[in-house]
Amino acid sequence: MTVRRGMAVAIALFILDQLVKWWIVGPFALEAKGSVHIVDIFNLTWVENRGISLGMLQADSDMARWGLVVGTAIIAMVVGWLMTRPGEEGDRLGFAMILGGALGNIVDRVRFGYVVDYADLHFGEFRPFYVFNIADAAISLGVAYLLIRAFWPRREKETSNA
């Protein structure tokens, strides 16, 4: 994947994430509803996530909130830089997913003081995930993609001296 395509994927994920959150916060007004049953395994549930993954590092003050914004922005810049390095063609999709998701959650934290989460996947009472959003899913899938690539045996290109 080229750098340009990687950036396009990151931007597309960011826009999709923000459009869905706009709908959830605005026209759909999920906050007022609390939770809406969609199908047996999926609800839309309003959650104001003031921490990072798995509820860690709760930002209970403005200083902590802006600390998370700065920390996440630094990570996003590093991921963006990694995406542009030569030789990273195979990993660019993972970096793009992480970058797009990180930008979406940064914008939420700046705008609202928290990340808007709404996707509640469950199997009966069993909830294998916390309530999440498109940005969270993109970050998780991007990290999983990079981990699989890191541990998957790679074939070296065969070179011939003929």
**Radius of gyration, CA atoms only, the chain:** 18
Which residues carry out catalysis? 117, 136
* 75: nearest Cα among 46, 44, 48, 106: 106
The C-alpha atoms of residue 87 and residue 78 are separated, in whole angstroms, by 16
CA geometry: angle 53, 98, 55, nearest 5 deg: 5
Q: Which residues are CB-contacts of 160 (< 8 A; sequence separation ≥ 6)?
A: none
